[in-house]
Amino acid sequence: MPELPEVEVSRMGISPHLVGETIAKLTFRTPKLRWDIPQELKQLEGQQIRSITRRAKYLLIETNVGSAIVHLGMSGSLRVLDAEITPGKHDHVDLKLTNGKVLRYNDPRRFGAWLWTKDGHHTVLENAGPEPLTDDFNADYIASKAVNKKVSVKQFIMDNKVVVGVGNIYANESLFSARIHPTKPAGKITNKQWALLVVEIKQVLDTAIKQGGTTLKDFAQADGKPGYFAQELQVYGKKGEPCPVCGGPIEELKIGQRNTFFCNTCQEK
């Protein structure tokens, strides 16, 4: 599933090709992805794209009359191509520009979304916590949210109402870097540990975005499509392999139905 770094890299990849251009036509080859595709999106035709922003794992293609909200779901991807290139089986949405290019949305599992907002507000964006790479996400903020919370720290930092975009991979990696056991109750984390964990979350996400920058050219290539970029991971998916710090085995368990990887020696319970 595309996580925040993949979505941010998608924004970076398509923005140079779209911002300042005018939308000629929107084509929907299916009436529904995860939700019905609203016909209000047709209002974007004839409008200049003012900017492309990201909120959590949603992209907003913004114009003066409103915005398309795009979510990549489980398997969605975006590419900027010549409009005459024939769409494939899973190419469900085309946003054609007046310059002859098209933003093409591909989604084999159809679990993504194209939605409409006139004023930037939408139910999918409500109750979202701060962006993890902003100053609003800091140790004082998250420590105040965690008071008396019995839920595991891993589930807590993956709660989009607490902070958006800390997906499973990055929660595992950040907790390992901060040497905090994923099962430890959020309310038991010390202020010093929160300060370190916030730094590690920001670092892990920033590093992933920079690694993904090597794929930016893929967003305008016809042969193939953008995929998950290579990650330099310490513990995620490495059950049974030696811990990079102590050499003991990386262990795995389920927390909130998500695979969780950790070192019992290095990460404090």
Which residue among the candidates 34, 54, 57, 101 is catalytic per the annotation? Answer: 57
17 is in an annotated binding site: no
Active site residue 258: yes
Which residue among the candidates 3, 6, 8, 62 is catalytic per the annotation? Answer: 3
109 is in an annotated binding site: yes
* Cβ pair 215, 226 in contact under 8 A: yes
Active site residue 11: no
Active site residue 2: yes
Active site residue 131: no
Nearest to 43 by CA among 125, 122, 119: 119
Q: Exposure string (b/e) for 160-190, b if CB count within 10 Å is 16 or more?
A: eebbbbbbbbbbbbbbbbbbbbbbbebeebe
Q: What is the 3-state composition of the chain as percent helix, strand, coil, each rounded to the nearest 5? A: 30, 25, 45
Instruction: Render 97-165 in DSSP notation, one character per residue.
Output: ETTSEEEEEE-TT---EEEEESSS--GGGTT----TTSTTS-HHHHHHHHTT--SBHHHHHT-TTTSS-
| Tokens coding 60 | 């907003």
Give Cβ neighbours of residue 66 (< 8 Å, ≥ 6 apart): 40, 43, 44, 116, 117, 118, 119
Known binding-site residue numbers: 90, 109, 149
Known binding-site residue numbers for DNA: 90, 109, 149
Tell me which residues are annotated as active site.
Answer: 2-3, 57, 258
